[in-house]
Structure 1
Amino acid sequence: MTDYVWISTNVYGGLPGGAVLGGHDSDQDPIYVGRAYHNGEMLPAKVVPNKQQAYVAWGGQEISKHDFEVLTGDHFSWVPASGGEVPPFALRVGQTADGEALFVGRGYFQGSLTPGKVHPSHQCLYIPYGGEEHRLEAYEVLVQPEVWVSSSSGRGIVPGTVVGGHDCDGSQIFVGRAYHEGDMLPAKVIPSKGCAYVPYGGGEVVKHDYELLAGYGYGWVHDSHGNVPGNAVLAGRTSDGEPLFIGRAHHHGSLTPGKIHQSHHCLYIPFGGEEVRLDHYEVLVKA
């Protein structure tokens, strides 16, 4: 899932709504995430609206750009990394002239928190600052935390897959979703059993085709009786369009994820061949 857009603008244009904050200048002016072309390369950029400036790091220099794009959207996180590494689901922003992927990173430098380009083959982050291109070994990388990975892709349990709980025998359970009878349903995925399960029509239904939720910036909060907070993760819908959210609860020694069905005022979990109704639960939220 992607929920972001690059908006074309220039140094005299207004900052678009939903612009992604990247950090701050040494005088505390906010810096936003952008990108711009330079010498045949699409490069991450720092956009400083209060100064009507945007800059990229290239060839040892901090280069001013008049025209650029600003990243807009929600549900981003910054994940620590170093040495040119990027975590799973890092946001690819551009590429070098010879096709190497570049990612958005940020690092602290002389009182600023400045975004720039993670250049994996150079094993570092480069930031534009004070007229120069500065190399940083440790940094944070911008990631889009909500990604659904198909089980048929062969990727299996990738780094960052969201843990949902554990079965009564101690097996780890991951958060997933699957189609059944026209509904997209939250699912419990148990790799040791090679399948997923959804609650439907009073039963626990086995699914061999499903998606796993992967990413960063998630948490669990307590709720009950079909209620969910505003930042709850939307996982699917019923065939008539009602949204379904991801919940989990303790049951017979397990901590099992399932579907929060608001009009039914409860959480349903798949367990022991049945669809089990629970009034009190935790909700998966975007932190």
Structure 2
Amino acid sequence: MVVVTLAALGAAYLAYHGHGKSEEQKKADLEGLHKWFLAAQARTEEFYRDGPRGPVAWVVNQGHVMPEDAIQGGEEHGKPVYIARAYCDGGVMVGKASPHTKKGAVIGYKHNEINVETYEILVGDMDQLIWVETSGRLNIDSLEHKPVEGGYEPDLTPIYIAQAHHHMGTHPGKASSVLDGAFIPHDGSEKKVKDYRVLCYA
């Protein structure tokens, strides 16, 4: 079980995200971070106590050790990368986790690639899931399968889990009804890819 204090989590978050924000904005951001993390901890405790309640679950993770049942979201330099998400600026952004990242996971936000040490990682049974091809703005009705929810933008627009090819690798990222393609964190920034796949329930 990952042990993280809210104080340490908040300090690390503000060290990166606190620049240029008023004290009121910082307070609101920390409240959002704490709310996300407490909910994530509760989900994780329930999962390890009661077992899975469906094909997938989000569990809190920290650093570079990946859970055995983490769902692979792609491959980079011939090594697997996994599906992760973390709080950022009022939203929960989807990205990737790997033993080979700087801190454990990276997410994309506002065209930047952001390293995070404490995050949620998607675990579950890939036999009950399917990657569905699509392109451009995500039209859920056209998928013919229910997509796995990944997170949400600061305005609460739902984000779904995308997978796209880029620079000889396959990377997990985000897609939604308002994004003109998949956005994947890679090499210091977010990359937009028109053609991609969405993780859905089989």
Normalised by the shorter chain, which TM-score bucket? 0.5 to 0.7
User: Per the alignment, do residues 215 and 202 of structure 1 end up closer, same or farther by CA in structure 2, a change over 3 Å counting?
Assistant: same
Distance in 2 between the 1:276 and 1:148 partners? 24
C-alpha displacement of 1:265:
2.4
Query: Aligned to 2:178, what secondary structure does the other structure show?
Result: helix
TM-score between both structures, scaled by the size of structure 1? 0.48
Q: Distance in 1 between matches of 2:108 and 2:67?
A: 25
Give matches, 1:78-89, under 5 Å. none
For the pair 1:175 / 2:83, whether they are aligned, the reply is yes
Query: What CA distance in whole angstroms lies between the structure 2 residues aligned with 1:155 and 1:147?
Result: 19
Aligned counterpart in structure 2 of residue 192 of structure 1, from 92, 100, 106:
100
Tell me what 1:71 maps to.
none
Determine the C-alpha separation between the residues in 2 that align with 1:212 and 1:151: 6
The root-mean-square deviation of aligned C-alpha atoms, in Å, is 2.3
1:232 Cα deviation after fit: 0.6
Determine what percentage of the aligned residue pairs are the same residue: 30
- 2:147 is aligned with 1:232: yes
Output the CA distance in 2 between the equivalents of 1:238 and 1:163. Answer: 23
Corresponding position: 1:203 with 2:118: no
Contact 1:261 1:268 in 2 (8 A): no
The answer to which structure, 1 or 2, has the higher relative contact order (CA under 8 A, 6+ apart) is 2
Q: Which structure has more helix as a fraction of its residues? A: 2
* Number of equivalences: 149
Cross-structure match for 2:162: 247
What corresponds to 1:223 in structure 2? 134
Instruction: Give the Cα–Cα distance (whole angstroms) in 2 for the partners of residues 262 and 206 of structure 1.
Output: 25
- For 1:238 and 1:273, the matched residues in 2 are separated by 20
Q: Return the alpha-carbon distance in structure 1 between the equivalents of residues 49 and 198 of structure 2.
A: 26
Larger radius of gyration: 1
Query: Structure 1 runs of 4+ off > 3 angstroms?
Result: 89-92
Structure 1: tracts of 5 or more residues without a match:
1-88, 93-102, 104-141
C-alpha offsets along residues 66-114 of structure 1, whole Å, 9 cap, x if unaligned? xxxxxxxxxxxxxxxxxxxxxxx6995xxxxxxxxxx9xxxxxxxxxxx
Q: TM-score, normalised by structure 2?
A: 0.67
